[in-house]
């Protein structure tokens, strides 16, 4: 029996997994950055 | 006494940034180790080929989401008991992280299904209940953000978060109670019509257990902790904005 070549699907799955985690972490960082900007504006005023 | 104000809760919360950074570093190393074991250590499934390796993340993501949603239940119950806003923040972090992990679970399952079931998606009982579960928690985030009154929002979120967990439990057990599902059960005996199951050798079992531990005990708590920190920061900034507006 020959093992099917499903490597492309494995790579796609890993890319989606890492990409989703990275996007979420990026969204946390982006929101924190936005809050920092708000805080800095409050301090200026 | 009713809920502590966000500013009081946030200001009195210990910082622990050093610990969180250390946990994040440990999580990153353990995650890479799990990924490396999935790619290089675990044996290749003779029938499915390399795509079977996605199961290590697929299952880890589901059980990570399960723990995150369970945290939402704990947060909801504790909020209703104590009215302390820190429990609402805990519950919110559980939902957000749980939705991300559930998405990974659904996406990796769909990608695995394409070569094994010859379709990206089918309305199987397990797949359908998993999709409904994600939608239930996305609705939590949407409805919650639409409620202006803070106390109403927290109370609603607590009750919704507790009730929503029934969709998680149903998704977990549906492959044991519905005989017509084609979703395989990796642990234990699945339905008679299950397609795509596989027998695990010792290297596969070790890799699966390590990845499950990383997703459940490291990745989920780390992401939730960062989300809680962000919410505490957001609450502090909101309080400062309110104070600024009241001044003038």
Q: What is the pLDDT of residues B122-148, one digit of tens each?
A: 999 999 999 999 999 999 999 999 999
Tokens (6 digits) for B219: 């990745």
Three-state helix/strand/coil letters over B76-122: HHHHHHHCCHHHHHHHHHHHHHHHHHHHHHHHHHHHHHHHHCCCCCC
Contacts of A9 in chain B (CB under 8 A): 50-51, 54, 111-112, 114-115
Amino acid B4: pLDDT = 42
| For range B66-93, the mean pLDDT | 98
How far B78 CA sits from the closest chain A CA (Å)? 25
Q: Name the DSSP class of B192.
A: T
| For range B190-202, the mean pLDDT | 69
pLDDT of B186 > 70? The answer is no
Residue spans per domain, chain B: 17-183+201-247
Q: Which of A15-29, B40-54, B190-204 has the highest mean pLDDT?
A: A15-29
Amino acid B93: pLDDT = 98
Which positions ≥6 away from A19 have C-beta within 8 Å? none
Of the residues A1, A2, A7, A9, the best mutation for testing chain B's interface (the one with the most B CB atoms within 10 Å of its CB) is: A9
Amino acid B11: pLDDT = 45
The ipTM, to two decimals, is: 0.93
Write out the DSSP string of B150-174.
HHHHHHHHHHHHHHHHHHHHHHHHH
Amino acid B63: pLDDT = 96
Q: Are A14 and B54 in contact (CB under 8 A)?
A: yes
Q: How far apart are CA B149 and CA B83, in angstroms?
A: 15
Amino acid B7: pLDDT = 43
Q: Which CATH number fits domain B17-183+201-247: 3.40.50, 1.10.1760, 3.30.300, 1.20.120?
A: 1.20.120
Of A11, A21, A45, A38, nearest to B103 (Cα)? A21
Residues of B with CB under 8 A from a CB of A: 35, 44-54, 57-58, 61, 97, 100, 103-104, 107-108, 111-112, 114-115, 219, 223, 226-227, 230, 233-234, 237, 240-241, 244
Write out the DSSP string of chain A.
-PPP--HHHHHHHHHHHHHHHHHHHHHHHHHHHHHHHHHHHHHH-
């Amino acid at each position: 029996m020959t093992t099917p070549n499903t490597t492309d699907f494995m790579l796609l799955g890993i890319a989606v997994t890492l990409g989703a985690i990275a996007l979420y972490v990026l969204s946390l960082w982006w929101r924190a950055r936005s809050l920092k900007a708000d805080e800095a504006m409050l301090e200026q005023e | 006494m009713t809920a502590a104000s966000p500013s009081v809760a946030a200001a009195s919360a210990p910082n622990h940034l050093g610990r969180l950074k250390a946990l994040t570093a440990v999580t990153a190393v353990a995650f890479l180790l799990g990924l490396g074991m999935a790619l290089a250590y675990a044996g290749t499934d003779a029938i499915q080929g390399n795509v079977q390796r996605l199961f290590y993340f697929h299952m880890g993501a589901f059980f990570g989401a399960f723990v995150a949603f369970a945290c939402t239940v704990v947060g909801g119950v504790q909020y209703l008991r104590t009215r302390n806003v820190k429990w609402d923040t805990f519950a919110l972090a559980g939902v957000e992280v749980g939705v991300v992990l559930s998405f990974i679970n659904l996406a990796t399952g769909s990608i695995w299904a394409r070569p094994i079931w010859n379709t990206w998606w089918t309305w199987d009982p397990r797949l359908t209940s998993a999709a409904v579960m994600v939608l239930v928690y996305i609705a939590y985030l949407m409805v919650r953000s639409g409620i202006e009154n803070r106390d109403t929002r927290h109370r609603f979120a607590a009750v919704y978060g507790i009730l929503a967990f029934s969709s998680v439990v149903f998704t977990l057990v549906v492959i044991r109670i519905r005989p017509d599902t084609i979703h395989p059960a990796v642990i234990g005996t699945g339905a008679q019509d299950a397609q795509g199951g596989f027998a695990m050798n010792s290297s596969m079992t070790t890799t699966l257990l390590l990845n499950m531990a990383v997703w459940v005990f490291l990745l989920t708590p780390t992401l939730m902790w960062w989300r809680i920190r962000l919410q505490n920061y957001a609450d502090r900034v909101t309080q400062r904005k309110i104070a600024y507006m009241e001044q003038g």
